[in-house]
Each structure stands twice: as C-alpha cells, then as structure tokens.
Amino acid sequence: MKPGFVRLICLAALFLFTAGSTWAQGFHQLTIDDFKGEPRNDQYTVAYTNCSIGFHYQAHREKNYYMLDFNIVLTMNNYKSWMDKKRITTNELLEEVLRHEQGHYTIAYMEQQELLRAVGKTVFYADYQRVAQAIFDRIDAKYKQLNLDYDADTQHMQNKAQQISWNAYFKKRLTYMPPD
C-alpha cells in the first residue's frame, strides 16, 4: 500500500533567556534510525518528522546598544518522529519516504540558518527582547508556511513530479546557502 499523507510539524521551542553563544550544527541527512517514535494509527500517514528550534540568547549592554549572544539550535526529535515501517514494503518506497521527510528537515534547517543570519545582522537596543522575538516570529511563520506549501504541492509525496521539483529546490538552496 502506498503511503498516504506524510507531514511534519516543526515546533518552535519556547523563547528563553539563557546564557549561550552563537552556534550552529551542520546539516543532517535523515536515515530510518532517526525515526524512533511509535507510529500513530493513521491510515493516511506513513511517517512524521518532528523538529524544534531552540532560540536562546544572553544580552549585555555596550554603550547605547546591546550585544546578544545567540544559541539557535535545530533538533530532530527522534522519539517524536516516527515511521510506520510495516507499511513500507520496498527499499524504493523507503527511499521515497526518507527523501520527502528530508525535505521537512531541510526546511527546518533553512529556518535555523536564516535566523542565525538575521540576528547576526541586527543591531539591538533597549527593546532587544521585542526585536529578537519579532525576528523569530517572522522567520518562523515564513517556514511554517513553506512546510504547508511543500506538503500541499507534493500531496504528501504522492505527486512525484512536484516532489522532484521540490528536491531540486532544496538541493539548490543548500548549495547556495549564504555563510553564517
């Protein structure tokens, strides 16, 4: 049986005020071992990828502005991500599912990278809390919509032509991603 809907909910972690420094992990290629959660009993969903982005910073005053040290971490939540391996009956189907789920992870990675670039270019003043939150909210909304568009366009990987198009888009975005 072909898998039905494959989707991702990319949860944004709470906005916390904790010490940290700017740090980003590298891109991760998903494997079947990344899906450790229990499959849901859902006839339309064969896999689910759950990522979160932790957005933390420490602020310190410098003359008339604030320096913010950011720690923006993308986490693949393995135990919330799952794959119904009983319904994936061929290696070809497994590759298709992983490729689609990789798209969701790639969207989360692109969000993390854009957040890092945006805060790195921002001068913060006394309203740094509001400004930092506004940056996060704006970029997070953009990538939530991109996730929705991805699943709608690919029909949760069922539209093979659209899936190929999105795969090419992701490859190009990763190849030409600006440095941190």
pLDDT at 3: 38
Query: Distance between CA atoms of 77 and 67, rounded to whole angstroms?
Result: 30
Of 2-6, 25-29, 64-68, 107-111, where does mean pLDDT reach its minimum?
2-6
Q: Is the pLDDT of residue 57 over 70?
A: yes
Q: What is the pTM of this model?
A: 0.84
| Mean pLDDT along residues 2-31 | 44
CA angle in degrees (0–180, nearest 5) for 11-17-19: 110
Q: Is the pLDDT of residue 15 over 80?
A: no
Average pLDDT, the chain: 86
Are 120 and 21 in contact by the 8 Å Cβ rule? The answer is no
Query: Distance between CA atoms of 66 and 130, rounded to whole angstroms?
Result: 13
Q: How confident is the model at residue 5 (pLDDT cuts 50, 70, 90)?
A: very low
